[in-house]
Amino acid sequence: MIKAVIVDDESCFREMVSTLLGDYFPDVEVVAFAEGVDDAVAAVEQYRPALLFLDIEIKGGTGFHVLQRLKYKDFKLIFITAFNEFAIQAIKFSAIDYILKPINEFEFKAGVEKALSGIGNDTPLQSENLLFNYADVNHKKLVLRTAQEIHVVKLADLVRCEADNAYTTFILVSGEKIVVSKGLGEYAEMLSGYGFVRPHQSHLVNIDYIRKFDKSEGGRLVLKDRTSVPVSTRHKNRLLETLGKL
């Protein structure tokens, strides 16, 4: 059996998560409930679950306070929370699974299936990066999950991203390339407030690595590593507006 702990300060949501697990995942056993920071830490340390369902706003603090106090961290973390833009942004950067309230049972099922498939895949690393991103808004790190590895990348080291259908390639200042099975649109939205521009539907660029904008041949960005990225008509005006503010 796969052990799970559910942490939420509202009993109706604790019961809902437990019921949905029983309906869809008979191999998952809920071994403890908690509604606050202290009892959550105690439950996780005692039962050492493989799955932790964690709300952000709980009694005595937040779910992040729970993570900070835990010594045992070898679990797959799933946040279940009402919308909190700043917290969810940190969660996305850290590639942590989350489900929004009110809970949709189909989204819940998909989220748990995804989490179960990733049990044991360097989960402490993701939790540690989540705490870093939540605490430090100016020096964020992005967790990139490939089929075989989990990479933690400083945004300052990310030169650009390039789309290839449902895949995105991340090109680092070192020359390393990391390919993940997610579309560019998700990352464009995530990184829009952190110095990245989208000059083309298939490209996302770190402004710090732009050397110049070449207006010939429809327009291209020339980067400091001497690579060039096309600028589409659709994205040109917004790009020029962004560059004009620098």
Written as six digits, the tokens of 212 are: 């110049």
Predicted pLDDT at 222: 93
What lies within 8 Å, CB to CB, of 29 at 6+ separation is: 1, 2, 3, 4
Q: pTM of this prediction?
A: 0.69
CB 153 within 8 A of CB 190: no
Would you put residue 83 in left (φ > 0), alpha (ψ -120 to 50) or beta? beta
The fourth-level CATH superfamily of domain 2-135 is Response regulator (3.40.50.2300)
Residues in the chain: 246
What local confidence, expressed as pLDDT, does residue 92 receive?
Answer: 83
Question: Average pLDDT per run of 10 along the chain, which is 246 residues long?
Answer: 96 96 96 96 96 93 90 90 77 84 92 84 69 68 87 94 94 96 91 89 94 84 92 86 72
Cis peptide before 230 (omega within 30 of 0): no
Which region, left, alpha or beta, applies to residue 175 given φ > 0 means left and ψ of -120 to 50 means alpha? left
CATH ID of 153-244, from 3.90.1150.10, 3.40.1360.10, 2.40.50.1020, 3.40.50.2300 = 2.40.50.1020
Residue 177 zone, left/alpha/beta (φ > 0; ψ -120 to 50; rest): beta
pLDDT at 132: 73
Domain ranges for the chain, please list them. 2-135, 153-244
